[in-house]
Amino acid sequence: MKYFFLSLIALSILVVGVFGFRGDKFSQAPIQVFPDMDDQDKVKAQTADSFFADGMGSRKPVTGTIPRNAEVGVMPVEFGAGRAGYYFDGKKEATFGNGLPDDLGIESEADMVGLLGRGEDMFNVHCAICHGKSGNGKGVVSHHLGKVGVGVPSLHNYPQETSPDGYIYEVISNGKGLMGGYKHNLPVRDRWAIVSYLRALQASAK
Ligand code: HEC
């Protein structure tokens, strides 16, 4: 009999515990045994928030943000997809040409210094890992590629006479053999900046 009452009490507590207060509203916050991530610092959409000076919780897109379906021509940087002409494909009358494209707008020594500086930065970011900082083909990756028999060429072997500027631009854009292309990563201007910097590396290696 004693066990019967004990079980009845336990059962009542269980039933009331599980079903007793369903749907009731409480003024106090519930006791959280395992808080998980119930309480987070966050901004709900379309609400005010004092964190920002303008008091708005939702932020506007950063200035210069481009919508995915933007019209051609609104891009602040040009990747040159589907466009023709020396600046975009490195070709002068169907063959690869030499010289800086007019579109780069290089008019003074300062412009050229700016272009070379940009070229240096971009070369060190994108190319030096394989071709080496001086372009001698002895980058970190080439050291390891060498172990599996893949050679990375020294860029000093590609002079203007046999490898015109437009050709180097083409290799940077679309890659060659085991080297991938950079036309999706590097805007047209940066690719030309690298070509210029590469010529400077070649000159200094002589
Ligand atoms: C992942 C390593 C790697 C990176 C990064 C890389 N290259 Fe290469 N590059 C190679 C390899 C390997 C070859 C040889 C390709 C072949 O002939 O099959 C090559 C070849 C070349 C050539 C010679 C093409 C020819 O006619 O034989 C040029 C020029 C060149 N790379 C320039 C660059 C420039 C500029 C960059 C930076 C934008 C760059 N590479 C980034 C691995 C790389």
pLDDT given at position 74: 67
Kindly state whether residue 99 falls inside one of the protein's structural domains: no
CB atoms within 10 A of CB 115: 22
Kindly state whether residue 51 falls inside one of the protein's structural domains: no
Kindly state whether residue 200 falls inside one of the protein's structural domains: yes
Kindly state whether residue 82 falls inside one of the protein's structural domains: no
Kindly state whether residue 92 falls inside one of the protein's structural domains: no
Q: Which residue's C-alpha comes closest to atom 12 of ligand 1?
A: 152
Cα separation, 191 vs 41, in Å, equals: 43
Kindly state whether residue 70 falls inside one of the protein's structural domains: no
> 120: domain CATH number?
1.10.760.10
Cα separation, 146 vs 123, in Å, equals: 21
Domain total for the chain? 1
pLDDT given at position 102: 96
Q: 152: Cβ below 6 Å to ligand 1?
A: yes
Cα separation, 54 vs 150, in Å, equals: 57
Q: 143: Cβ below 6 Å to ligand 1?
A: no
Q: Which residue's C-alpha comes closest to atom 39 of ligand 1?
A: 127
Cα–ligand 1 centroid distance for 188 (angstroms): 17
pLDDT given at position 76: 72
Q: 152 lies in which domain range?
A: 108-205
Q: 171: Cβ below 6 Å to ligand 1?
A: yes
Kindly state whether residue 148 falls inside one of the protein's structural domains: yes
Q: 112: Cβ below 6 Å to ligand 1?
A: no
Cα–ligand 1 centroid distance for 103 (angstroms): 25
Asked if the model's pLDDT at residue 119 lies above 90, the reply is yes
pLDDT in tens, 67-92: 878 776 666 778 888 889 999 999 99
Kindly state whether residue 159 falls inside one of the protein's structural domains: yes
Most ligand 1 atoms within 8 A of CB, residue of 136, 171, 186 to mutate: 171
pLDDT given at position 23: 78
Please report the beta strands in the chain, taking only residues with DSSP state E, as ranges in sequence order: 91-92, 95-96
pTM: 0.75
